[in-house]
């Protein structure tokens, strides 16, 4: 496996794991972290033996935001010409399902990174927020858009305008996270969810992900039409034949990921 400086990568069965590893800066997302996370996620995405990717941080911090010390000296021309943060879009384009396991702080870019992932599991100690306004900036990795779609206008406005954090319970009530688990069990639970997803047919899981994501990009009628076309196309796959035959024959399916 590739050697990285700011992240750890691992593979368990069909699950790829990316652990943010800058403890001295609460996993602040500098440009190197961004490059490494994206490179690792793309490598897992290319690997047909990987059916799900887990992204996690430390017990204290998933990530405390983009790296403020790295950002501070930059001018408009610096960030414009380097097109700061647009590379995170590559992570959203990964087709393999992704699970964020959030313990502790997920602030600013950390919250935005978690929201790029498909399933968001929170430890009961998780804290989410978009505190950029306190630094005199605004979210820069999609937070104003993804948070608003996840929790609605009023709460997104309050969080972006006041910079206050919300705890795991509030985040679950608001629909930001799929589930809260005791912090000590977070990684086991994330691995269990990821194992379940990775046990499905990979191309069908990719199509399910694509269909759900389409809900954020288009009208209801177009989205339903897209879903129906994909549903029809799935009947050309071996895994649809296997999945339905296994049900009828009362056995476990053995997906070929084709």
Residues making contact with ligand CO8 (CB under 6 A): 25-26, 28, 64-69, 79, 84, 105, 107-109, 131-132, 135, 137, 139-140
* DSSP SS3 for 210: helix
CA neighbor of 195 nearest in space, from 53, 9, 47: 53
- The SS3 assignment for 58 reads coil
- Cα-based angle 30, 36, 41 (whole degrees, multiple of 5): 130
Q: Which of 25, 40, 114, 132 is catalytic?
A: 132
φ/ψ of 148, rounded to 5, equals -65, -40
| Angle at which helices 202-214 and 220-234 cross, to 10° | 170
Determine whether 143 is an active site residue: no
Q: Which of 100, 101, 106, 112 is catalytic?
A: 112
Q: Which of 28, 40, 66, 122 is catalytic?
A: 66
Toward ligand CO8, which CB reaches closer, 84 or 226? Answer: 84
Cβ 242 to ligand CO8 shortest distance, Å: 44
Catalytic residue among 109, 110, 123, 129: 109
* Alpha helix segments (H runs only) across the chain: 31-46, 68-71, 76-81, 88-92, 109-116, 143-151, 153-162, 168-174, 186-198, 202-214, 220-234, 238-248
Beta carbon of residue 241, minimum distance to ligand CO8 (angstroms, whole number)? 46
Q: How far is residue 10's CA from residue 146's CA, in Å, rounded to a whole number?
A: 28
242 is known as an active-site residue: no
Look at residues 140, 138, 127, 135 and name the one whose alpha carbon lies nearest to residue 160.
138
Q: Is 112 a catalytic residue?
A: yes
- Least Å distance, CB 28 to ligand CO8, is 3
Residue with Cβ nearer ligand CO8 (25 or 198): 25
Shortest approach of ligand CO8 to residue 58 CB, angstroms? 11
Beta carbon nearer to ligand CO8, 76 or 235:
76
Q: Which is nearer to ligand CO8, 66 or 205 (CB)?
A: 66
Active site residues: 66, 109, 112, 132
């Amino acid at each position: 496996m590739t050697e990285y400086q700011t992240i750890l990568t691992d593979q368990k069965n069909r699950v790829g794991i990316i652990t943010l590893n800058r403890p001295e800066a609460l996993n602040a997302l500098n440009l190197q972290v961004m490059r490494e996370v994206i490179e690792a996620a793309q490598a897992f995405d290319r690997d047909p033996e990987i059916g799900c990717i887990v992204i996690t941080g430390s017990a204290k911090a998933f990530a405390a935001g983009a790296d403020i010390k790295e950002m501070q000296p930059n001018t408009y021309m610096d960030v414009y010409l380097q097109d700061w943060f647009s590379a995170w879009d590559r992570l959203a384009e990964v087709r393999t399902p992704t699970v964020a396991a959030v313990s502790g702080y997920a602030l600013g870019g950390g919250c935005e990174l978690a929201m790029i992932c498909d399933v968001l599991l929170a430890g009961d100690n998780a804290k989410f927020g978009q505190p950029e306004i306190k630094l005199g900036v605004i979210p820069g990795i999609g937070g104003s858009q993804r948070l608003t779609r996840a929790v609605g206008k009023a709460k997104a406005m309050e969080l972006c305008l006041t910079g206050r954090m919300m705890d795991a319970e509030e985040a679950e009530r608001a629909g930001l996270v799929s589930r809260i688990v005791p912090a000590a069990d977070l990684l086991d639970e994330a691995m269990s969810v990821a194992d379940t997803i990775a046990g499905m047919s990979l191309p069908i899981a990719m199509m399910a992900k694509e269909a759900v994501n389409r809900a954020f990009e288009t009208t209801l009628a177009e989205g339903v039409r897209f879903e129906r076309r994909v549903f029809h196309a799935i009947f050309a796959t071996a895994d649809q034949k296997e999945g339905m035959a296994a049900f009828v024959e009362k056995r476990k399916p053995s997906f070929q990921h084709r």
